Amino acid sequence: MKQFIIISTFLLFSIKGFSTVQQPDYLIFNKDTLYFNDLPNFISSPLEQIDSISHYIKKLIADLSGIETINSGCWRGFYAEWKIIDNQLYLSKVFDCETHEVINKIVVKVLGRRFVNGLLKADWVNGSFGCGKDLVDHFYLPVYRHNWKLLIENGIIINKIENNLTDNVDDGHL
């Protein structure tokens, strides 16, 4: 019975070990910088819509550097910068989480698509994405004062719904 309790406790805490807040992708829209939310019902990175992309990018980074790293704050191995220009979503930069170097050349190999004038048209992106700005709390999941839900079809912003938390915030905490 004692072994069962020890093993159960270990499994419980090891599952919670994947609960680290992740390095978010960010989105430049007009003059604002928004951060993609890693919340239920939202996709935390538009790149994650591509099957096994994290695996391929981490493998190519490891092949180039000769080192395979694990970062609990960035299990994908990368984070990205996105831009909205004339309601079209573009990928502009992808960064290695460890070195923070731009790894767009690796992304080109994985996607088989090229950046044109520093932008890659993200016409594969579909779904609901949560974004926020003005960080309020960062304990378990980031909470932003200003939030938007973006509805995207084929990389085009179909709808942008704002949901601000200013009425629910008291001295910077929910």
User: Is residue 122 domain-resident?
Assistant: yes
Tally of structural domains, the chain: 1
- pLDDT tens track for 65-121: 666 666 667 778 889 999 999 999 999 999 998 889 999 999 999 999 999 999 999
| pLDDT(28) > 90 | yes
* Interacting residues of 120 by C-beta distance below 8 A, sequence separation 6+: 90, 91, 92, 107, 111, 113, 114
User: Is residue 153 domain-resident?
Assistant: yes
**Residue 95: closest CA among 132, 20, 45:** 45
Query: What confidence score (pLDDT) does residue 12 get?
Result: 47
User: Is residue 173 domain-resident?
Assistant: no
User: Is residue 13 domain-resident?
Assistant: no
Domain that holds residue 26: 21-168
Q: Tell me the whole-structure pTM to 2 decimals.
A: 0.77
